[in-house]
Amino acid sequence: MSIRVFTVLPLLLLSLAATAQNKDGIVRGNVYDKESGEPIIYGNVLLKGADMGTNTDLDGFFSFGNVPPGEYQLQVSYLGYDSTVVDVKVQEKSIVYERIELASQSIDLKTVNVSSRREQARSDVQVSKLRVTPQQIQSLPSAGGDSDIAQYLTVLPGIVVSGDQGGQLYIRGGSPVQNRVLLDGMTIYNPFHSIGLFSVFETEAIRSVDVLTGGFNAEHGGRVSAIVDIKTREGNKKRLSGLVSASPFLAKTMIEGPIKKLSDDGGGSTSFLLTAKHSYLNESSKLFYDYAVDKDFFSFAAGDTSLANVNTSDIGLPYTFTDLYGKLSFVGENGSKFNLFGFNFTDQFDFIGLAKLNWTTTGAGGDFTLIPPNSNIILNGTVAVSDYEVRLQEADGRPRRSSISSFDALLNFTYFGANSQVDYGFNFTGFNTDFSFQNFLGLSFQQRDFTTEVAGYVKYKQKIGNLILEPGMRLHYYASQSEMSIEPRFGLKYNITDWLRFKFAGGRYSQNLISTVNDLDVVNFFVGFLAGPQERLTKPNSNEVVDDRLQRSWHAVGGFEVDLSDQLSINVEPYLKRFTQLININRNKTDEFDPDFITETGEAYGIDFSARYQGPKTYIWATYSLGRVTRDDGVQVYPTIFDRRHNVNILVTRAFGQDRKWEASLRWNLGSGFPFTQTQGFYEQNNFEDLLSSDVLTGNFGLGTLLSDDLNGGRLPYYHRLDASLKRTFKFSKYTSMDINLSITNVYDRENVFFIDRVTNNRVDQLPILPSLGLQFNF
């Protein structure tokens, strides 16, 4: 049945597209920066005479469907560039393509086009969708002066991180494995390094980051909580350029340029982009940040509490990583393009022989966009392979290992109508998991599995006056479970006025991937993966067999957007995520007959407020999140360790001085304390292994702890931290410049508690004050 559905669906949609065109024509094109050949994103495009308007997408592409035959003027504008007007003539059933290049004006090109963003908000549903640009990432005061998406994500509403070292990213109640991170269409299984402050992605190579915190439509699936969709740009199509930078945390370089230049007279181009970064924090921290090393933290992470005599200056912050990424891009004369990319990301955590962890991700692939000259259907797709492997060797000698090798193939179609758009496509994913683990009782858990997933989707967008409707449907087939998941999705937006908009989105979601990281873990550097179980599963704390062996959820998100002025806008979004089935490894397995997996349910609900002010020199971003995240294991309903009830973020960036060569930024975060299970008492831990030589009356044994029956019933103190940065740009010529960035993480040296060792009562804090000076040379 599933094969028939996947075969018939595209034929029906192609028939619909073919009959909808009638005698009208199509006007489409791409808008580029004349200097570099970079696409103009969110540019304003107006077809005068037809009363049609739109914005360019991430590729600078625009399309007007159902244009009556006649003569028109195509007007393109974007803040910071000279406007351009092009005469076009549309004949019956014809397709007119225009490649337009905009010349920059002499004003600051870092200014965001506020009117374009607002027009995009009026024309798209965009519920729980936040788009992040490289300029926004670079405006954040960052550790070591090195801007990174890992640090910027934490200022977005609904997102919390559990700690600076080994912390995990949680999005509106979803744990890391329930959030899919995409790089140019392929899944990245571990996108963040162990230090927690840096990702595997290079900021300067990013074109855009779309964070879908819930209620996403049918084009995305395979996860029950959220999507982070990262797209990289092509290399410079006009000239050789790049950068070199260094800070106490890391050094990086990027070089890009044309192999075949993009000509002003038309034709295609070929370009390349290469990036590399390496962290030497394990060595530099001995010199600059020896005071930041907390022996109690590393002894806890390593499972060893006998580090009192270790000299912290010999330890350093034992993190190092290396990230390599390359991309080769071919862009055709009509906007079609083809990209080849490859990467190698490595990470290592080595603490003086007590615990050693390293992981590696390698991958390669290609993506394409095809714009047929005689059709109003646009095709794009991705084919990619990747391999992730992590190994951990602890002091107790029990090794852990996990690997996942995956293959992704995506094919998407888009049809543009006058006031409508149809998106549909297919996704094939195959992954091979290999996992081995021993628990504290020495019982082993192993899984080697190969499984495939096949999905098809359709999404229809229709504008009816001030109302935008966006229903969708996803069919996701999990081969290892022999299960077809039918997942309806829906979104809408109603533009009440030019400055007030209401919106709603929701749907059903599923996934088959399980993480070795548990929601009860305070810190866990080992991030492994395995496929969903094929064994018998029961409902939480019962013998009743579950309906299927998939993890599932329902989302419902509402809200409204208000434009208080041209510079100031407010967004309010209440949300609910109901996790109807979650699956975890049974790490409390006491004998070989206990199940390997257990189930539970959960809920995440709350409301997010955000305000954005965008002035000529000042940018202000402020958010407040009120939320609650619970799990139900069949015994009790308890808050998760990442249940942060209140979370406030304020980011202020100000450009000043002649030609705005100075930029100052402040970021302040306030969060209520995370839950923890309180200690009820202690006892001597005698396992009675040697009864002949042990004196059970007077012997000294290890200290065990008795925990409260109220799981996560306590709360840590409030967290708050201020970060600041000051950047000065020195301009040497049109293309060469140098940035000096002074940054301070945790300005007032707040002692934010991470956790407290139950046995020793030693308190472990998060990172202290970390000043740094970074240099970056651009050419």
Q: Quick: pLDDT tens for 203-222.
A: 999 999 999 999 999 999 99
Cβ(729)–Cβ(661) below 8 Å? yes
Counting as low any pLDDT under 50, the low residues of the chain are: 1, 3, 7, 11, 14, 16-21, 107-112, 301-310
pLDDT at 110: 45
Q: Residue 671: what residue type? A: G
Please compute Rg for the chain using Cα positions: 27
Question: What DSSP assignment string belongs to 261-281?
Answer: PPPTTS--EEEEEEEEEEE-H
Torsion sign over Cα 768, 769, 773, 774: positive
- Provide, for the chain, the percentages of residues in helix, strand and coil under a 3-state DSSP scheme, each rounded to the nearest 5: 10, 55, 35
pLDDT at 564: 94
Please report where in the chains the tokens 């908000």 appear, as a residue. 121
Q: Are strands 226-232 and 206-212 parallel, antiparallel or unpaired?
A: antiparallel
Four-point Cα dihedral 596, 602, 608, 614, nearest 10: 20
- How far apart CA 75 and CA 86 sit, in angstroms, is 6
pLDDT at 107: 47
- How far apart CA 424 and CA 458 sit, in angstroms, is 4
- The residue among 435, 371, 438 whose CA lies nearest residue 398 is 438
- The residue among 667, 624, 662 whose CA lies nearest residue 152 is 667
Cβ(712)–Cβ(681) below 8 Å? no
Cβ(693)–Cβ(710) below 8 Å? no
Within a 13 Å sphere around the CA of 264, how many CA atoms are in the beta-carbon half? 4
**3-class state of residue 145 by DSSP:** helix
Q: What count of residues does the chain have?
A: 779
Cβ(138)–Cβ(203) below 8 Å? yes
Six-digit token pair at 318? Answer: 């034992």
Cβ(641)–Cβ(631) below 8 Å? no
DSSP state, residue 673: P
Element (H, E) at 19: helix 2-20
Cβ(199)–Cβ(181) below 8 Å? no
DSSP state, residue 204: G
Please report where in the chains the tokens 């973020």 appear, as a residue. 649
Six-digit token pair at 760? Answer: 């020793």
Residue 535: count of CB within 10 angstroms of its CB: 8
Q: Read off the pLDDT of residues 139-180 as tens digits, 9 standing for 90 and up.
A: 888 877 788 998 899 999 999 988 776 557 899 999 999 999
- How far apart CA 771 and CA 747 sit, in angstroms, is 8
CB neighbour list of residue 364: distance below 8 Å, 6 or more residues apart: 340, 341, 342, 343, 384, 385, 386
- How far apart CA 377 and CA 14 sit, in angstroms, is 9
